[in-house]
Amino acid sequence: MPGPGEVGRGVRRETAPAKINLFLGVGPRRPDGYHELLTVFESLPEPHDDVTVTITPSDGGWVFRAEAAPPPSSSVQALPRDLENLAGRAAERFAAALGEPAGKPGAAVDIRVTKGIPVAAGMGGGSSDAAAVLRALQAHFGSPLDHERLLRVAAELGSDVPFFLEGGRAVARGRGHELRPLPRGSGLPLVLGLPRFALATPDVYHEFDRLGGPAGGGQAIWVRREEHLAGLTEALAAGDLPAVAGFLGNDLERAAVSLCPQVREILGALRRAGCLVARVSGSGPAVFGLCLGKDEAARIARVAARLLPPGLRGSVSFLPVVSGVGPRPGSDN
Ligand code: C5P
């Protein structure tokens, strides 16, 4: 491994997991355009993206290239350019944070992302890819950025990016980047509903505002949400799935359904198939249902597919999964 200040050649492969939001409380729009959040992130081993970062010493300063490809049997319709940009921007910001973006020698940083996570689905794929790039570069260069600095670089890239540096289970506040890790506990048996259509996050937040913003205002709502959060973390710690089900919620759900009414059908199929509860993840349109066990989740995934209205059957896949981060290779060669 090259020391700080040196650039050696290396190829690093990182697994970029998806996430869901077990709870997402949203406040009014702030003067900076963002909304105040209280959320609980939970990472998933599947679906995931594979991120390969190749670093080659270069005498010509720093050069960044990023490319994304859908997997052969893809549920991803189109890859937006900004996905490639976010992974590429992660490398640029990392180099800038090293304090020598224009310095010589530099490095050519080549990023290839193979998508497994549906794009613009509310599962954090682009943010996870950006975090994977930061992890790869930190590992390659011998951890030149301290944890605080790395978190700041991640937060500049996007609200969800800091969470994906570690993954697991965490409470987030502020814009979504002030993190408090929670004990990982046991994973949750889930069925994901993965639509082949997309929703742009800013559009969903705009719709949330248009529909009147948070229900109730002022500080009282945050007091209630903190109580809700305490209930959820207690139920998670106890592994009490029916109690967890009672605390899952998402303030963006109404806005996501308003923009994309098919989401209601997908939630309905999961509920009727036997999930304890089904919710939208993040800004949607991906959804998840909580089940009583792993085998039950596999059964519910099959039943939910049959319960979809015929017009939606080709556009949604149901995936049983137990939450938690899978093995994260982060290999070096
Ligand atoms: O931070 P990120 O770039 O992922 O956010 C994407 C968009 O989502 C923002 O431009 C904003 O419209 C919306 N957003 C928000 N409040 C947050 C996080 C995101 O309004 N806390």
Is position 160 annotated as part of the catalytic site?
yes
Give me the DSSP letters along 177-206: TEEEE----SPPEEEEEEESS---HHHHHH
User: Quick check: is 294 catalytic?
Assistant: no
pLDDT at 62: 86
- Whether the CB of 38 sits within 6 Å of ligand 1: no
Can you tell me the distance from the alpha carbon of 113 to that of 239, in angstroms, rounded to the nearest whole number?
35
Atom 13 (ligand 1): residue with closest C-alpha?
Answer: 202
Distance from the alpha carbon of residue 174 to the mean position of ligand 1, in angstroms: 11
Q: Which of 146, 160, 240, 295 is catalytic?
A: 160
**Phi, psi angles (nearest 5°) of residue 331:** -80, 160
SS3 278: strand
- Cα 35 from Cα 54, distance rounded (Å): 36
Ligand 1 centre and the CA of 309: distance in Å? Answer: 32
Where b means 16+ CB within 10 Å and e means fewer, 232-258 reads bbebbeeeebeebbebbbbbbbbbbbe
Tell me how far the alpha carbon of residue 89 lies from the centroid of ligand 1, in angstroms: 17
Residue 220: predicted pLDDT:
82
**Pocket of ligand 1 contains residue 28 by CB under 6 Å:** no
Ligand 1 in reach of 89 Cβ (< 6 A) = no
Query: What pTM does this model have?
Result: 0.93
Ligand 1 centre from 230 Cα, in Å?
A: 25
- The residue from 19, 49, 50, 115 that is catalytic is 19
Q: Give me ligand 1 centre to Cα 205, in Å.
A: 8
- Number of the ligand 1 atom closest to the C-alpha atom of 174: 21
pLDDT, position 89? 95
The pLDDT, as a whole number, for residue 3 is 47
Maximal C-alpha separation, the chain: 61
The CA 201 to ligand 1 mean position distance, Å, reads 7
The number of the ligand 1 atom at minimal distance from the alpha carbon of 202 is: 12
Does residue 281 line the site of ligand 1, with CB under 6 A? no
Dihedral sign, Cα of residue 290, residue 327, residue 200, residue 114: negative
What is 26-73 written as a DSSP string?
EEEEPTTS-EEEEEEEEEEEEEEEEEEEEEEEETT--EEEEEEE--SS
Query: Does residue 75 line the site of ligand 1, with CB under 6 A?
Result: no
Q: Are 197 and 295 in contact (CB under 8 A)?
A: no
Residues 297, 287: Cα–Cα separation, whole Å: 14
In order along its 333 residues, the chain shows pLDDT tens digits of 444 445 578 999 999 999 999 999 999 899 999 999 999 999 999 999 999 999 998 887 888 999 888 766 555 555 666 666 899 999 999 999 987 545 556 889 999 999 999 989 999 999 999 999 999 999 999 999 999 999 999 999 999 999 999 999 999 999 999 999 999 888 999 999 999 999 999 999 999 999 998 877 677 888 999 999 999 999 999 999 999 999 999 999 999 999 999 999 999 999 999 999 999 999 999 999 999 999 999 999 999 999 999 999 999 999 999 998 655 556 555
Question: How far is it, in rounded angstroms, from Cα 208 to Cα 187?
Answer: 30
- Residue closest by Cα to atom 4 of ligand 1: 158
User: Phi and psi dihedrals of 30, rounded to 5?
Assistant: -90, 165
Q: Which atom of ligand 1 is nearest the CA belonging to 175?
A: 21
* 111 three-state secondary structure: strand
Q: Is 292 exposed, middle or buried (0-12, 13-18, 19+ CB in 10 A)?
A: middle
Which residue's alpha carbon is at the smallest distance from atom 11 of ligand 1? 202
HSE, side-chain direction, 13 A CA sphere, residue 40: 21
Q: From the CA of 159, give the closest atom in ligand 1.
A: 1
Spatial CA neighbour of 275 closest among 293, 260, 262: 293
